[in-house]
Amino acid sequence: MNWNPKVAGAVVLLLGWVGAAGAQAPTPGPEATPTADASTGDLDAITGGDIDVTSIEQILRGDQESMEGGFFTYDPAGRRDPFRSLIDNLPGEEPPDAAERPPGLPGMLVEELTLQGIIQTPGGILAFVQGRDNLSYIIRPGTKLYNGEVLEIQPRKVIFRQQTNDPKQLKPYQDIVREIAD
């Protein structure tokens, strides 16, 4: 005969409670001996039918069903993932890995550019910058970078508009000014 320890503990607890209340616990006779296997879920045979255990059976079945499902997944379908932090990738954190970015200027961060010079041409004003790869690049207003773009070039300075992902700021960008050193 197999006894489920949880059910046996509940029966002992119930019998102890009945005994403490002043009633005598009936001695089990041959007709009260449990004949059902406790693992099959037939708790009425074990408890003698006096205790309503349907809610316990429902809870145990619910736990079992939830464990059979495996892992949970989330499909954002174009929406923001509510399980990700709003303050991830704030300014001042490590830049993204260089292997993830495209080559050349489109893969450069504003912080990685060093202003080398500015020239006036008949077609407009241009600036020379040095990137993280130690190569020189020519930029003009509207040149796209990895985290921003060139907003304006003046005779002594370049203004970059850097995109920010900071929920505490009112504007989703900040303007960074780089000047030519004398």
pLDDT tens-digit series, residues 78-105: 777 777 777 766 555 555 555 588 888 9
The structure tokens 């079945």 sit at 61
* Residue (of 91, 101, 106) closest to 174 by Cα position: 91
Q: What is the mean pLDDT of residues 146-155?
A: 92
CA distance 133 to 38: 72
pLDDT for 181 equals: 74
> Domains of the chain: which residue ranges?
5-68, 98-179
Q: What are phi and psi of 20, to 5 degrees?
A: -70, -25
3-state secondary structure of 106: helix
Instruction: Give the pLDDT mean for 7-13.
Output: 55
Which of 14, 50, 52 is closest to 32 using CA atoms?
A: 50
Asked whether residue 157 carries a pLDDT value surpassing 50, the answer given is yes
Other C-beta atoms lying within 10 Å of the C-beta of residue 13: 10
| pLDDT confidence bin for 36, thresholds 50/70/90 | very low
Between 4 and 178, the higher pLDDT residue: 178
What's the topology of domain 98-179?
A: SH3 type barrels. (2.30.30)
Mean pLDDT of 30-47: 52
Place 56 in a pLDDT band, splitting at 50, 70 and 90. Answer: confident
Question: Binning pLDDT at 50, 70 and 90, where does residue 115 land?
Answer: very high
Nearest to 46, CA basis, from 18, 1, 12, 7: 7
Per-residue pLDDT for 66 more than 70?
A: no
**Is the entire prediction scored with pTM above 0.75?**
no
**Percent of the chain whose predicted confidence (pLDDT) is above 70:** 58
C-alpha 33, offset from chain centre: 54
Contacts of 25 (CB under 8 A, 6+ apart): 15, 18, 19
Nearest to 109 by CA among 168, 158, 163, 174: 163
Do residues 110 and 176 touch, judged by C-beta distance below 8 A? yes
